[in-house]
Structure 1
């Protein structure tokens, strides 16, 4: 569905970097771009959207060329059938919810699809509200509905839920997954939230200094060593206590505190504040730094 091979010279925090990636993404896949800040995740989305022009390479979507440096092809962002959802909702403050969504409709007269989007996002009761009257989560649902109004072939999500609290994030994740499936979208997400990535994604692409370092399922990536564990949770280390021959690791998981007994050698690379996966296999606790 998406065949891309793109190269772009960038500068991140004053350091030169060459973003050089090659990907083939199947129709209907939900993939996540993962990596440290400055690794090239958002720049990749911007090149796919047309907001950034690659130096070299090509981008094919359903065998249609959106970009080809060798042939001087560069389809403008407005003519690429995609929806782009940012951290910043970027709603028009002087328009109602309904007007914000209608503004992006591929066919301005398609009131049936407009109603469908309002219903899908649970926005019918809010359709005459202005953005200022909405909560962050409600504004993000409007922004998602607006991104879908163009009937995109590709949905790009650049950490769209990072500004929301945990409860609202979970609700919006359900909306995104439901919409992805309902409209058979090919979705590309940038996220650092492990539980979000595992919940939503079919495939994880790890970027490191502009290059693809690894491709695998989220559970394979985050659960290395824990893949056959009976259960798995994500948490944060808040304390490490030395008990002679073992260490007691205190891990905050949601609102709960879990204590994990570990061999001293296992904790050499663990420090307070680390994000970890905790599991159990054959009644033995397992812990892995994310």
Structure 2
């Protein structure tokens, strides 16, 4: 369980803004902080990691107090069990992939976790190469593995996939979800990608000017419940779920999400990430892959 309450006056391009939030995140949950740039999302991650001090507040992780300004408790970043993955890979260029992971080991920590992470995140063919020889997606996989070396209580992800193309984002989303579940992590993601949020998150917190203005499941936050009977649009498939004898296809159109009921014949060649056209036919929506 993460229990936090934070107050911090932030100086933004638009002027001063008070970050004023309270969160309780159950152990093992995957949450996303969502909102416009400058809403305070990254500041929350930095305060959790001990990289930014709040004006006042409290942070307790599984009943261990990391921060209590009233009691003058403020653990250093090295004493907080946090894995932090940034948009920038921040790997040591003169070290191999394996050496980058070994560098993250704590004193006297056994290196068995290195072999395990190399296996789980499929870095075996890359472990003896230097970061400069890897693609962006491969480097981000290494950064993710490095964040997990010390078996953190909390995994923080600050738009780690925003610079990657759609195919690579989908692959890395799968890795993130895999390690989140395997290591029973409590994960906090900052993302502007609605498809990514829908795929990964248990709950979404929408921030505006330093405050949480709405929270709920991704479907509650993003799904549009109103749709004209006459429409024609294109979008991207973000999930396909079977519901008894039909399928529910979730499609991202711009920043809006719609769900379409489809028959087996309509989803036979559909996969997540496909571009599709949704149109009305006899007042019933039909979905068709765009090739």
Shorter-chain TM-score category?
Answer: 0.7 to 0.9
**Is contact 1:235-1:254 (8 Å) kept?**
no
Q: CA, structure 1 residues 108+131, in 2 after alignment: closer, same or farther (shift >3 Å)?
A: farther
Give the secondary-structure state (helix, strand or coil) at the position aligned to 2:11. strand
1:57 Cα deviation after fit = 1.3
Structure 2 portions without partners, runs of 5+? 228-242, 256-271, 287-291
Structure 1 portions without partners, runs of 5+? 238-252, 262-279, 286-290
Give the secondary-structure state (helix, strand or coil) at the position aligned to 1:221. helix
1:231 Cα deviation after fit = 3.3
Q: Where do residues 201-220 of structure 1 align in structure 2 (5 Å cutoff)? A: 201-220=201-220
What corresponds to 2:29 in structure 1?
29
Q: CA, structure 1 residues 257+127, in 2 after alignment: closer, same or farther (shift >3 Å)?
A: closer
Give the secondary-structure state (helix, strand or coil) at the position aligned to 2:125. helix
TM-score normalized by structure 2? 0.81
Give a deviation string over 1:220-257, Cα, whole Å, max 9, x none.
111141699953311349xxxxxxxxxxxxxxx96646
TM-score normalized by structure 1? 0.81
Give the secondary-structure state (helix, strand or coil) at the position aligned to 2:128. coil
Q: CA, structure 1 residues 109+70, in 2 after alignment: closer, same or farther (shift >3 Å)?
A: closer
- The structure 2 residue matched to 1:233, chosen from 237, 246, 251, is 251
Give a deviation string over 1:59-116, Cα, whole Å, max 9, x none.
1111111111111111001110010000000000010000000110135552321100
1:12 Cα deviation after fit = 1.2
Provide the aligned length of Structure 1 versus Structure 2. 251
Q: Where do residues 4-153 of structure 1 align in structure 2 (5 Å cutoff)? A: 4-107=4-107, 110-153=110-153
State how far apart, in whole Å, the 2-side matches of 1:283 and 1:38 are.
41
Give the secondary-structure state (helix, strand or coil) at the position aligned to 1:163. coil
Q: CA, structure 1 residues 110+73, in 2 after alignment: closer, same or farther (shift >3 Å)?
A: same
**Is contact 2:158-2:191 (8 Å) kept?**
yes
What corresponds to 2:176 in structure 1?
176
Q: CA, structure 1 residues 131+225, in 2 after alignment: closer, same or farther (shift >3 Å)?
A: same
The CA RMSD over aligned residues, in Å, is 2.3
**Is contact 2:3-2:61 (8 Å) kept?**
yes
What corresponds to 1:283 in structure 2?
284
State how far apart, in whole Å, the 2-side matches of 1:202 and 1:221 are.
11
